Amino acid sequence: MPGRCAFCLAPTLDDRPWCRDCFETLPWNLAACPVCAEPQPVASQGRRCGTCLRRAPAFVRARVPLRYSEEVVWLVRRFKFRASPRAGMVLLALLEASLTEEARAWPQALVPVPLHASRARDRGFDQAEWLAKRLALRLRVPLHHGTRLRDTPSQRGLDRQQRRTNLRRGFSVVEPLPSRVVLLDDVMTTGATLEALALACLAAGAEEVEAWAIARTPLGGNMSQAW
């Protein structure tokens, strides 16, 4: 409803689609690895996670403001599986609200994580493309595209290494890219998909790649005891 919070229907905060209380209590991903954005215990805030210390990803950093839990799960599902434009606009606004001026000025191009053509036809909606079109206009940067070369099996239930194997050489980027490129997806799980696309972008001429998403799935189950 116009002028009402997307979460509780209370009056909104200024021109934002949320009220102050709901915004402040969202599951913000504050204590996260600065490289891959994996949620960390508060005591580890600002430190690289063990995985990134052992093997840094192809992208230089990830910016993922929220954890995929609580109200965020509800919002993402409405957007992804029901193609709700209201949910999409709220998610995009949350991502934008988290970006510093430095972050907004960094990218020279945006590349959404592509669906395979057959999956896009079945679903009838490409959530990353929808988000990237609007964000590229707001950041005033060009939108570039990659291609998913094969319709990989579902990533559900796979660990980080299995996901990397599943997606190996899974993307291609044909058009030349500028030096600084941002990849965009709605939810980041292990980072394997963004890693594979980052490698394709580097092969297409990018020198540095950042991974942006709206929410990050905590690895290893429930992180509630650590927060």
Closest CA to 116 of 189, 78, 166: 166
Is 128 within the bounds of a domain? yes
Is 28 within the bounds of a domain? yes
| Domain total in the chain | 1
Which pLDDT does position 38 carry in this prediction? 94
Which pLDDT does position 223 carry in this prediction? 39
Tell me the three state secondary structure of residue 136: helix
Which pLDDT does position 165 carry in this prediction? 52
What CATH number has the domain bearing residue 60?
3.40.50
- Contact between 183 and 111 under an 8 Å Cβ cutoff? The reply is yes
Is 10 within the bounds of a domain? no
Rounded CA gap, 16 and 23, in Å? 10
Is 120 within the bounds of a domain? yes
Is 13 within the bounds of a domain? no
Local structure of residue 2 (DSSP, 8 states): T
Alpha carbon 102 to its chain centroid, in Å, reads 18
Which pLDDT does position 56 carry in this prediction? 92
Which pLDDT does position 125 carry in this prediction? 84
Is 205 within the bounds of a domain? yes
∠ CA(70), CA(72), CA(78), 5° rounding? 115
- Contact between 129 and 146 under an 8 Å Cβ cutoff? The reply is no
Rounded CA gap, 165 and 163, in Å? 5
Q: Residue 112: enclosing H or E segment and its boundaries?
A: strand 109-112
Rounded CA gap, 193 and 191, in Å? 6
Residue 67's domain comprises 20-222
Is 7 within the bounds of a domain? no
pLDDT per 10-residue tile (average), the chain, 227 residues: 87 91 96 94 86 94 97 95 94 97 98 81 84 98 91 53 57 95 95 93 97 89 37
Q: Where do we find the tokens 């500028």?
A: 178
Rounded CA gap, 227 and 213, in Å? 21
Cβ-in-10-Å burial (0-12, 13-18, 19+) of 73 comes to: middle
Q: Within a 13 Å sphere around the CA of 107, how many CA atoms are in the beta-carbon half?
A: 31
Is 70 within the bounds of a domain? yes
Amino acid found at 179: S
